Chain A
Amino acid sequence: MKVDVEKLRMIVGEDNVSDNITDLYVYSSDASVHQAMPSVVVRPNTVEEVQRIMRYANNSRIPVIPRGAGSGTSGHTVPIDGGIVLDLKRMNRILEIRPQDMLVRVEPGVVDDDLNRALKPYGLFYPPGPASSRIATIGGEIGANASGVRSVKYGATRDYVLGMKVVLADGRLVTLGSNTRVHSAGYQLERLIVGSEGTLGVVVEATMRIVPIPKFRCLAVANFNKLEDAGKAISDIISSGAQPSMLELMDEIGIKAVNKAMKIGLPEVGAIVLFEADGNVKEAVDYEMEKMKRICEKHNGFGIEMSYDKKERERIYAGRKKLFASLSRYKNGIICTDLADDMGVPNSKIAECAKKIHEIAKRNNVIMAVYGHCGSGVVHTKIMLDPTKNSQWRDAEHVIDELYEYVHSIGGVTSAEHGIGLSKAPPWKKSRNDIIPVMKAIKKALDPNNILNPHKLMDAPDRWVTATNLRYQVKS
């Protein structure tokens, strides 16, 4: 594959194209374990530039990998076949805020937190917010159907997409969806793009629904000596009809890791549950909080602290906020990998699932932390291992096989909010072989030359560990 770098320079300008090893190496990875070099990195600034790049790439059969913040955990933006990495962070303009219509029009490179800062003066916010909202872009969030800690009440990115403009593989610009809350006119194509991981088109503009910031927000923490009790409390809270705006779990390993990395002195118990309610009527928030508190107590929750105060809430939440990265400090020589990191399981199975994860980890010589937005059934784990040993990667493969076999057997899903990419493709493909041909047909119809983020999702290799080079030096 020969990329005409000069042609790309003509389209986006000298300073926005690089085929220098410095940039190619940096853009060869994201937050996953994978690494593969692109041929060139291109940073368009306008819709027309994206169209021209796509026309050229389609004619020349060159892969194009749209990229936002590069914070994806499954290798979505790792250019497995080389080609053009399309860095969309320059397209970061908030085009329109329409409080009367409760919507916002943005370019794909707008950072989630920046959007929320712009919305705050209007008393509005954009709720899906993943933990990485400080750098995550709206385009990337659409690609992965991202969600975050408040998904239990506010849902995921797909619930906020009203419409979008997408550049297709052949460079055509199409407008999908609408500016209205509902539309009933055939295929909901804007929804099709959500979670497509850059395989169907390049989102160049998105119209997103926004909602009012609630007047009251109360956050509480409950400690549990047993992880199973915490899991049962979460299941009970959901089935009781309570309406948490956040319901989070953190296990013992996560607690220890946060204490080690941040030295904030969380109680070293079996599990911590964080629960929050929000709303415009304080009595209603109080009611929800009291209900959830009682359920926690029923399942042996203790040391419950509760606060409406912003600073206090930040203090209570500090540990959870930094958990993901803190897991890296758990033990010397052991690092934290993003593998099997976001299963979705039925609420009634959370406690059982948490227990099973620790069993599987122990049997396979790795350490796994269990945490997540368990209120919406999202169970996050991280596999912690010695990345320099070949045997540990084999262990990780076994863990993943066993874990997903279990998750699928209880009616769970492979990925709840991070997406499939490369590392989750093998178990996902195994569990959903009925829909793979349908997805392939859609892909073929929209991208007949297979240039948009090829070999991801249904087309990803069957072994994740050999799909690309691992980003670590494996020595033995």
Chain B
Amino acid sequence: MNRRDSMLRSISKIDFKQAKKWEKELNKCIRCGYCYELCPLYKTFNWESDTPRGKLLLIHGMITGEIKPTQEIAEKIFQCFYCKNCVDNCSAGVQITDIFTDARADLINADFDVEGTTARVNEDICSVCGMCVSVCKSEALLFTEDEVGNRRIAVDRVKCKGCGLCIATCPSGALSQKEGFKVSPTELEKQITHFLRGNKNARIVVFCCNWSVFPGLQLSELPTLIDTPYGIIVTMCSGRVTPELVLHAFKEGAWGVMVSGCPPEECDHDGNYKSRRRILLLKNLLRQLNIEPERVRMGWFSRGESMKLKQAIDDFNDKISKLGPVECSSTVSYW
């Protein structure tokens, strides 16, 4: 991102009607910074303006009039996956993500055209089937009509939490998220390739959900990507693991693929159920490709269950080692 070109516009007068009610709450933030320990946005960009603390500061600055809202500031406020690791880490009890949501509403009301981590629709290829509408638990996708009465799908950017479930569900590939946040299908594929080709012992790709087990996994002493036969790929919600991603892993030489999602009833987006269904269907397809279905496994892991995940990975690794490499991974390319 070219940081010089980022101040595209600046609107000086905004009535921060919704965010203003948080002014006292923003003073409660002691700016200790604990909120950014596990923030995926901070881990991606490493600028303090990407931390929850930084965003609260920006909101505080805007509602008190110390700084004027700009396009870049608005973009930052719209960059959040709502994994709420920041909220969990803030023992000052500041409702960080609720403040973001209200600030987003104010910025949208002031006509800022921003995307951040929210989903976008390519209307040229959208068939308006509405599958995305039905999977979105945040009610961020809705049917609408354009000026000539054609049905369209619209994204409510205030409600969209960027889980990506709609993107994994859309049969036309009409939904996407901006590149750069390490969660688009292309970026996930790149991470898979990088792991499998860059590590000589690489065998297993583990898709990991950022809401449940991954935060704890980062805090445990378990090795992640270094010299282990398995690589952790964080997909935000497990519901965005598509069959294409799994097949990509096999194509790139994986011996096995594991998907870890929240246990039933614990997923904020119901993505775990969607993923389970897809994995079941994929197993049938794998048979046709002469790939043993047991090379794909799905598991449920809650927060703080990193040891359970590690044991499950070790167990899976033992079984996969007995199977050896996929014999006909080249046939996967055909798909």
Q: How far is the CA of A229 from the CA of B47 in the complex (A)?
A: 47
Instruction: Point out the residue from A15, A25, A31, A387 that lies within 8 Å of B32, measured CB to CB.
Output: A31
Tell whether, in the assembled complex, residue B57 and residue A15 are in contact, meaning their CB atoms are under 8 Å apart.
no
Q: How far is the CA of A387 from the CA of B68 in the complex (A)?
A: 23
Tell whether, in the assembled complex, residue B3 and residue A15 are in contact, meaning their CB atoms are under 8 Å apart.
yes
Tell whether, in the assembled complex, residue B33 and residue A261 are in contact, meaning their CB atoms are under 8 Å apart.
no
Tell whether, in the assembled complex, residue A26 and residue B57 are in contact, meaning their CB atoms are under 8 Å apart.
yes
Instruction: Point out the residue from B76, B90, B221 that lies within 8 Å of A121, measured CB to CB.
Output: B221
Chain B residue with the shortest CB-CB distance to A132: B32
B1 CB within 8 Å of chain A: yes
Q: From A56-64, A195-203, A320-328, give the one contacting chain B.
A: A320-328
B225 CB within 8 Å of chain A: no
* B-contacting residues, A26-48, CB 8 Å: 26-27, 29-31, 43
Interface string of B49-90 (1 = CB under 8 A from A): 101001001100100101110101100100000000000001
* B-contacting residues, A73-88, CB 8 Å: 87
Q: How far is the CA of A388 from the CA of B48 in the complex (A)?
A: 26
Which of chain B's residues have a CB closer than 8 A to the CB of A132? 32-34
Q: How far is the CA of A22 from the CA of B1 in the complex (A)?
A: 14
Chain A residue with the shortest CB-CB distance to B72: A22
Tell whether, in the assembled complex, residue A329 and residue B93 are in contact, meaning their CB atoms are under 8 Å apart.
yes
User: Counting chain B CB atoms within 10 Å of each CB, which of A18, A23, A120, A471 scores highest?
Assistant: A23
Interface positions of A (Cβ within 8 A of B): 14-15, 17-18, 20-23, 25-27, 29-31, 43, 69-71, 87, 89-90, 113, 117, 120-121, 132, 134-135, 261-262, 322, 324-329, 332-333, 335-336, 338, 387-388, 471-473
Q: How far is the CA of A458 from the CA of B220 in the complex (A)?
A: 42
Which of chain B's residues have a CB closer than 8 A to the CB of A15? 1, 3
Which of chain B's residues have a CB closer than 8 A to the CB of A87? 48
B322 CB within 8 Å of chain A: no
Tell whether, in the assembled complex, residue B6 and residue A22 are in contact, meaning their CB atoms are under 8 Å apart.
yes
Min C-beta distance of B88 to chain A, whole Å: 11
Please report the number of residue pairs spanning A and B whose Cβ atoms sit closer than 8 angstroms: 116
Interface string of B246-271 (1 = CB under 8 A from A): 00000000000000000000000000
Tell whether, in the assembled complex, residue A120 and residue B221 are in contact, meaning their CB atoms are under 8 Å apart.
yes
Q: How far is the CA of A109 from the CA of B58 in the complex (A)?
A: 24
Chain B residue with the shortest CB-CB distance to A30: B31
Which of chain A's residues have a CB closer than 8 A to the CB of B30? 31, 324-325, 327-328, 335-336, 338
In the complex with contacts A29-B31, A325-B34, A325-B92, A20-B67 CB distance below 8 A: no
Tell whether, in the assembled complex, residue A261 and residue B3 are in contact, meaning their CB atoms are under 8 Å apart.
no
Min C-beta distance of A6 to chain B, whole Å: 10
Tell whether, in the assembled complex, residue B58 and residue A26 are in contact, meaning their CB atoms are under 8 Å apart.
yes
Q: How far is the CA of A223 from the CA of B23 in the complex (A)?
A: 37
Tell whether, in the assembled complex, residue A25 and residue B57 are in contact, meaning their CB atoms are under 8 Å apart.
yes
In the complex with contacts A71-B32, A262-B91, A338-B30, A21-B70 CB distance below 8 A: yes
Tell whether, in the assembled complex, residue A333 and residue B92 are in contact, meaning their CB atoms are under 8 Å apart.
no
Tell whether, in the assembled complex, residue B27 and residue A324 are in contact, meaning their CB atoms are under 8 Å apart.
no
Tell whether, in the assembled complex, residue B7 and residue A21 are in contact, meaning their CB atoms are under 8 Å apart.
yes
Q: 29 A-B Cβ contacts within 8 A?
A: A14-B2, A15-B1, A20-B7, A21-B70, A21-B73, A22-B49, A22-B70, A22-B73, A23-B48, A23-B49, A25-B67, A26-B54, A27-B48, A70-B33, A117-B219, A134-B34, A135-B33, A324-B30, A325-B90, A325-B91, A326-B93, A328-B29, A328-B94, A329-B93, A333-B24, A335-B27, A387-B27, A388-B27, A472-B27
Q: How far is the CA of A323 from the CA of B309 in the complex (A)?
A: 31
In the complex with contacts A117-B221, A135-B36, A23-B47 CB distance below 8 A: yes
Tell whether, in the assembled complex, residue A20 and residue B37 are in contact, meaning their CB atoms are under 8 Å apart.
no
Tell whether, in the assembled complex, residue A328 and residue B92 are in contact, meaning their CB atoms are under 8 Å apart.
yes
Q: How far is the CA of A21 from the CA of B90 in the complex (A)?
A: 26
Q: How far is the CA of A336 from the CA of B91 in the complex (A)?
A: 13
Which of chain B's residues have a CB closer than 8 A to the CB of A17? 3
Tell whether, in the assembled complex, residue B49 and residue A26 are in contact, meaning their CB atoms are under 8 Å apart.
yes
Which of chain B's residues have a CB closer than 8 A to the CB of A90? 46
Which of chain B's residues have a CB closer than 8 A to the CB of A121? 221
Q: How far is the CA of A89 from the CA of B30 in the complex (A)?
A: 21
Which of chain B's residues have a CB closer than 8 A to the CB of A20? 3-4, 6-7, 72
B28 CB within 8 Å of chain A: yes
The 6 closest A-B pairs by CB, nearest first: A322-B91, A328-B92, A26-B54, A325-B91, A325-B92, A26-B49
Interface string of B1-27 (1 = CB under 8 A from A): 111101100000000000000011001
Which of chain A's residues have a CB closer than 8 A to the CB of B73? 21-22
Q: How far is the CA of A22 from the CA of B47 in the complex (A)?
A: 10
Min C-beta distance of B95 to chain A, whole Å: 12
Tell whether, in the assembled complex, residue B58 and residue A22 are in contact, meaning their CB atoms are under 8 Å apart.
yes
Which of chain A's residues have a CB closer than 8 A to the CB of B219? 113, 117
Chain A residue with the shortest CB-CB distance to B220: A117
Q: How far is the CA of A69 from the CA of B34 in the complex (A)?
A: 10
Q: How far is the CA of A132 from the CA of B89 in the complex (A)?
A: 12
Which of chain B's residues have a CB closer than 8 A to the CB of A27? 48-49
User: Counting chain A CB atoms within 10 Å of each CB, which of B37, B47, B67, B72 scores highest?
Assistant: B47
Which of chain A's residues have a CB closer than 8 A to the CB of B2? 14
Chain B residue with the shortest CB-CB distance to A5: B4
Instruction: Point out the residue from B1, B64, B67 that lies within 8 Å of A473, measured CB to CB.
Output: B64
Which of chain A's residues have a CB closer than 8 A to the CB of B33? 31, 69-71, 132, 135
Q: How far is the CA of A262 from the CA of B31 in the complex (A)?
A: 18
In the complex with contacts A14-B2, A333-B24, A472-B27, A29-B57 CB distance below 8 A: yes
Min C-beta distance of B219 to chain A, whole Å: 8
